[in-house]
Structure 1
Amino acid sequence: MMNNVRDYFDSNDNKSIITSGSFGEGLEMRGSDLDIIFAMNYIEVCEDKSVPLNPNKAYFTIEANATQPGYTQLRLGYEHYNKKLNILEICEEIGGKYYCSNFCIKQRFINEFTPIVHGPCTSDKNGFYDIAYCLHCKTWIRQAQQWIKRSNNAWPEFDVKQSIVAHGVLFVPIGVKGSLKEHLEWRISFSVGEKLLIHSFTHTQLLCYVLMKILLKDVIEIDLESKNILCTYFMKTILFWISEELPLTTWHPS
């Protein structure tokens, strides 16, 4: 709750701040870093090219035909010239079309506080902070439509699903490793939806999630042969799948 309140007051017309990761889930544990999402409000991603345009924003459209599932390229559809923002500086021209470069986005936001590029994020030298500068699509994209009707059990509840769908999706500045256009690809992120799902857990589900994280940190990762094979995100995804498959009556302490 306190993270959400702080995020609300720290956000403005140019950016929305979202505390993500363990802190955003309310499960800060030993060794957890602080993951923060900066959604740039002066840029919007849209799948439907007929959306009403705000002249003060730049708009990118989704081009996922030539990328792996879960990734897309973002093509510039409309830009109102603004010398301060200069959207073309973060784009690469290919055949007369402009595509948003994840590399340029990260280079633009490197500073003294976060001078290191770490995956899709810029990080501080001590590894305490990871900041991801993301783009937002206000609508639920076609690639994820099946999720809305997939679960036949009581979890997640209808209202939770509606809140997740209403938020839309984020696009994180990282491509498929080794791809010919890796620097122009963006990973589709459902981190806000995942946070809402965690917040909808029963106490028993939450305990299972915490125990899985402890197992990963205190058992699996201290074995040199197993280190870096698994990550917390895998654990979380497994628990989401199990929660969809099993009835809520399964989740009791015994």
Structure 2
Amino acid sequence: MNLEDKNLSFQFYNYLCDIVVSEEVVRTRREIFTAKDIVESNTSVTLLSSASKAEGIYLKGSDFDQMILLKVIRVYESFNNVQYDPYRIILFMDTNDTKPGFTKLKLANELFFDIGIICDWFETVGEEKYISSKRFREQNLEDGMVIHAPCQSTPGGGLDYASCLRCKERISQAQQWISRSRTTWPHDTLATSAVQYGVLFVPIGC
């Protein structure tokens, strides 16, 4: 980088700091949201704040986004990978007749189907039972909240909550992300952590 480009880069950085605030403030805001998620999580759910506010950037019109990870459910990429757990509801992916990046989630053990809330989530197609995106999104919808894409949201869009399910494997559809070209972001440590965590599924509709 030549001197002129370096000076322009510093000017642009200082300009962004005037608009967005300093790096230290952004870092502090991120830490506050991380602490908030840890305190509010429990044995049933893990809370994951996301989007611009959780990243420490408060822009005009920014809403608050939070993912609610349901710990009682575990997703596997295929039925062959399933490891049964008496304390978890096991689902596995079925990508037949789905577009890239989408999947149906099938119930692996129908013994759990007798549980009231589980029965409310599923639809039977032929002899198989799949999670219904519509039913899953609308479960426990509070008064005054509306369905917006995968989220339960306030009418004005100030709050968005998306329930999600975790697969601890890095599924084949997400493998390209691991080796794709990147320069400085995300850092290798963050990328490795993301790969080890697996993937999250959210309901998107029909």
> 2:180 and 2:153 mapped to 1: Cα distance?
36
Q: Does 1:174 align with 2:204?
A: yes
- The C-alpha deviation readout for 1:77-113, integer Å capped at 9, x for no partner, is 125538765312200001110000110012212112x
Q: 2:77 maps to what in 1?
A: 47
Q: Is the 8 A contact 1:115 1:123 kept in 2?
A: yes
* Residue among 173, 184, 191 paired with 1:143: 173
| Number of residues of Structure 1 aligned to a counterpart in Structure 2 | 175
Q: What residue ranges of structure 1 are gaps of 5+ in the alignment?
A: 176-181, 183-254
Quote the RMSD (CA, aligned, Å): 2.0
Q: 2:106 maps to what in 1?
A: 75
> 2:174 and 2:154 mapped to 1: Cα distance?
33
* Residue among 47, 53, 57 paired with 1:23: 53
User: Which runs of at least 4 in structure 1 moved beyond 6 Å after TM superposition?
Assistant: none
* Residue among 150, 153, 164 paired with 1:123: 153
In our comparison, the structure showing a higher alpha carbon Rg is: 2
Give 3-state SS (helix, strand or coil) of 2:139's partner: helix
* Residue among 64, 81, 106 paired with 2:95: 64
Q: 2:192 maps to what in 1?
A: 162
Q: Is the 8 A contact 1:79 1:87 kept in 2?
A: no
Give 3-state SS (helix, strand or coil) of 1:17's partner: strand
Normalised to the residue count of structure 1, the TM-score between the two structures is 0.64
- The C-alpha deviation readout for 1:132-160, integer Å capped at 9, x for no partner, is 11111111110011221222655433322
Normalised to the residue count of structure 2, the TM-score between the two structures is 0.77
Of stretches 62-71 and 93-102 in structure 1, the one that deviates more from structure 2 is 62-71
Give 3-state SS (helix, strand or coil) of 1:71's partner: coil
Give 3-state SS (helix, strand or coil) of 1:70's partner: coil
> 1:108 and 1:126 mapped to 2: Cα distance?
20
Compared with structure 1, are the counterparts of its residues 80 and 39 closer, same or farther at alpha carbon in structure 2 (3 Å cutoff)?
A: farther
Aligned-pair identity in percent equals: 35
Q: Which amino acid aligns with 1:81?
A: F
